A and B are shown apart, each in its own frame.
Chain A
Amino acid sequence: QKEVEQNSGPLSVPEGAIASLNCTYSDRGSQSFFWYRQYSGKSPELIMFIYSNGDKEDGRFTAQLNKASQYVSLLIRDSQPSDSATYLCAVKGLTGGGNKLTFGTGTQLKVEL
């Protein structure tokens, strides 16, 4: 079982719709959860992080965390073509301390006109 799992996609949504990206993790002791956006040929860009169960909203983005189910999701409202990218879920576990992140393989999102 992979430590962080994401559906590779592509996930296609029409412009203006809600895109829902999901991630599960195996380390029950994981503390912090991050969503990065990566455009083709570019480096990952941090867009959201969440530490506590529940929802966290920032503009069009909402991160949702359910530690009991070991599940993190990212909702993108009013999706735009510029949101087309690969979204990486990353998890910081308990072991080792520091800032080490374990990444999923990413979900490719395509927002269609």
Chain B
Amino acid sequence: KAGVTQTPRYLIKTRGQQVTLSCSPISGHRSVSWYQQTPGQGLQFLFEYFSETQRNKGNFPGRFSGRQFSNSRSEMNVSTLELGDSALYLCASSLRDGSGEQYFGPGTRLTVT
């Protein structure tokens, strides 16, 4: 069974621009979570989607948003990029609702210049 896929894998953007990242979960997984990983802060939860509804949201500004489609694929968007948004953005999917058991994709490395 194919794992979680994320596109693009690498991205370079300029301050003030916006970016959209995509995630396809493991087949059959309906829960998709997004995390930001930086050397200083580690892995931080952004938000979680289940059946096209945002179920949890982390402590990030409103510039960070996401959505989930009926096929469970998810996108996250960051508007008005700041230098501090440079990070590895990880998507994780889960089969069992509420279990916490999540499987990560390879991530999208975003660099903001």
User: How many interface contacts (CB-CB < 8 Å) are there between A and B?
Assistant: 73
Taking chain B's interface residues, is the majority helix, strand, or loop, or is none over half, making it mixed? strand
Using C-beta atoms within 8 Å of the partner chain, give the interface range for chain B.
20 to 34
* A44, A100, A102: most-surrounded residue (chain B CB, <10 A): A100
Q: List 18 A-B contacts (CB under 8 A).
A: A32-B100, A34-B101, A34-B102, A42-B106, A45-B104, A46-B103, A90-B100, A97-B55, A97-B56, A99-B98, A99-B100, A99-B101, A100-B33, A100-B48, A100-B58, A103-B42, A104-B42, A106-B42
In whole Å, how far is B102's beta carbon from the nearest beta carbon of chain A? 6
Q: How far is the CA of A69 from the CA of B31 in the complex (A)?
A: 31
Any A CB within 8 A of the CB of B70: no
Q: Which residues of the partner chain B approach A31 to less than 8 Å between Cβ atoms?
A: 100
Contact A49 B101 (CB under 8 A): yes
Q: Mark A96-113, 1 if CB is under 8 A from B, else 0.
A: 111111111110000000
Contact A99 B97 (CB under 8 A): yes
Q: Mark A76-112, 1 if CB is under 8 A from B, else 0.
A: 0000000000001010100011111111111000000
Q: Which residues of the partner chain B approach A98 to less than 8 Å between Cβ atoms?
A: 31, 33, 48, 50, 55-56, 97-98
Taking chain A's interface residues, is the majority helix, strand, or loop, or is none over half, making it mixed? loop
Interface residues of A (CB under 8 A from B): 31-32, 34, 36, 42-46, 49, 88, 90, 92, 96-106
Add 16 more A-B contacts to A43-B88, A99-B102, A105-B42 (CB < 8 A). Answer: A32-B101, A43-B107, A46-B102, A49-B101, A88-B42, A96-B55, A98-B98, A99-B33, A99-B94, A99-B98, A99-B101, A101-B45, A101-B102, A103-B35, A103-B44, A106-B42
A88-B43, A104-B42, A105-B42 known; A99-B90 Cβ under 8 A: no
* B33, B35, B43: most-surrounded residue (chain A CB, <10 A): B43
